[in-house]
A and B are shown apart, each in its own frame.
Chain A
């Protein structure tokens, strides 16, 4: 009984780490330009498919595949920003225009993959041996998240990112180029999403063009749970979501898997809408 509980906890932390990696992309983009990037889940899916393509061409070399996939995904993330969000920002469009654009990009990307590959599940090669799969996923996620935290808090780029998220115009007055910083934010977020994509493919041994929707939605819940805009919030939110989901399925009822995730969303919005780590911004008159 105890070993089953322990195994279930590991299951939960593994799923949770993957949610965290994707949630970080949502939270950083929201923090810096107040946009919920609905296309982020599909960028994660594209990362997984790029990994699949690479592993066919380059063989089952995990480190090579995940590294190149992360770089490609990061590039795609920046591309999406330049094509779909930047022009709207430059024209001072309403916030909702960018939101609609994000939904459009999401639908476009997932259907593009369906057009190229078909809607069915695709088999993923075994890039890692089974027995170290879970611990390795958890370690890689922790490593990447620590790397992100270090960049944001200990480097000049990080200071610039935090400055832009506080106030774009003041940051500009300080000599920061907001467009570059915003692009960099998308690049990092998509870099992590690409890693999550390859990890999901390796863990479940299958991917499909619509997995970005559900995963993205749950990662978004994790970001809101932790406090959207807060990086530690996204990390903690992902872990809590993964754990409650798996433990709920294992010990309460497996019919409620998705209901648990969205129930948490409703609960946190009612009880503490700013999220666990979120701060209430006071309007200064």
Chain B
């Protein structure tokens, strides 16, 4: 009898306590590799998202409540990413999740989030098929399906390049997808792929692959993998006397590319959904604000935009309790039907699958007079 009374009082207190807790703040989750060799992607996205959350709270929050950002480190490990999304759904009960920066991990967490009616915006996944068939999964990234062909066409026209070598990282979903897209684009625009080579994420020795390329004639190398291997591949190319530049997507987008490869990285062409050199006022304001939080780049810009996209949707759906599935469904509906959103990474609208339609920024690694490396914007 006594035990029942005490447990009854405790249960009542906890219910009241959690209700009070739920009434005070709304939360968003964010996950990505904050440590590990892909840490650039996770850390940058988090920095941009934190800036957005701080700005929103300074202006009074969402629907009168403070916005809280909960972040976990997935270390670039797919199993850990799955654990984290489960934690967001079952334990933290957030209103929405921003993640992951890599296509591979987003393929893993997308279906899980979709099944639990948890809205998910990836601020980095660019491969084919990430959002299709999953109404709760969105992305504010530039699709490789749009960026790769546009970049190829641009380079063939402005630099008069015709012959290319294609290098794919076979254990990397993003790379496999992008290589397919480039192959099709090459067919469409009548470019020649004179040779193909395969590497794997985690490889250190590329002497065999580069030697096999040496007696072929080509203008540039399309490298569809990530920056740690790309920087080593560049060093091997220059060591064996090949001076051709590499072309790639936002997988190459990290200062570590030129920190490791140094001058070997000069001339590398990287297309992305954002450029800090763009002259638009919104972009330059964002670049200024990010100076004290680690330099603006595509990942921080898209993380920033993802938070604001969620904020817009949460305001429209008049959300006050993240644990309520009906309210999360309303957030999803608000995202899907959002009229054109003007973000720092460009104006965007979601198509019926949840992809954003954005304009590609084509950039080239260059060096300023003071020796500092930066990304020169080729197409304003």
B109 contacts the other chain (CB 8 A): no
* Given known A8-B208, A123-B259, A123-B260, contact A255–B36 (CB-CB < 8 A): no
> Are B211 and A120 in contact, CB atoms less than 8 angstroms apart?
no
Residues of B within 8 A of A (CB): 35-37, 39, 170, 197-200, 202-205, 207-209, 211-212, 214-215, 228, 231-232, 235-236, 239, 256, 259-262
* Given known A130-B239, A206-B260, contact A121–B208 (CB-CB < 8 A): no
> Are B37 and A15 in contact, CB atoms less than 8 angstroms apart?
no
Among A80-88, A189-197, A246-254, the one that faces the other chain is A246-254
A208 contacts the other chain (CB 8 A): yes
Chain A residues within an 8 Å CB radius of B214? 4, 7
> Are A204 and B208 in contact, CB atoms less than 8 angstroms apart?
no
* Given known A15-B205, A206-B232, A254-B199, contact A7–B36 (CB-CB < 8 A): no
A257 contacts the other chain (CB 8 A): yes
The dominant DSSP class at the A interface is helix
> Are A214 and B202 in contact, CB atoms less than 8 angstroms apart?
yes
* Given known A214-B204, A258-B200, contact A204–B260 (CB-CB < 8 A): no
Instruction: Give, as a whole number of angstroms, the nearest-CB distance from A253 to chain B.
Output: 7
A205 contacts the other chain (CB 8 A): yes
Per the 8 Å Cβ criterion, residues 210-233 of A in contact with B are 210-211, 214-215
Instruction: Give, as a whole number of angstroms, the nearest-CB distance from B132 to chain A.
Output: 27
Q: How far is the CA of A12 from the CA of B197 in the complex (A)?
A: 18
Q: How far is the CA of A231 from the CA of B55 in the complex (A)?
A: 65
User: Closest 8 interchain pairs by CB?
Assistant: A254-B198, A249-B208, A11-B207, A250-B208, A205-B235, A123-B260, A246-B208, A255-B170
**Which residue of A4, A7, A119, A204 is within 8 Å of B205 (Cβ)?**
A204
A73 contacts the other chain (CB 8 A): no
Instruction: Give, as a whole number of angstroms, the nearest-CB distance from B32 to chain A.
Output: 15
Chain B residues within an 8 Å CB radius of A121? 37, 228, 231-232, 256, 260
Chain B residues within an 8 Å CB radius of A7? 211, 214
Chain B residues within an 8 Å CB radius of A254? 170, 197-200, 208-209
Chain A residues within an 8 Å CB radius of B203? 257
Chain B residues within an 8 Å CB radius of A110? none
Chain A residue nearest to B202 (CB atoms) is A214
Instruction: Give, as a whole number of angstroms, the nearest-CB distance from B166 to chain A.
Output: 13
> Are A133 and B209 in contact, CB atoms less than 8 angstroms apart?
no
Chain A residues within an 8 Å CB radius of B197? 254
**Which residue of A11, A120, A205 is within 8 Å of B39 (Cβ)?**
A120
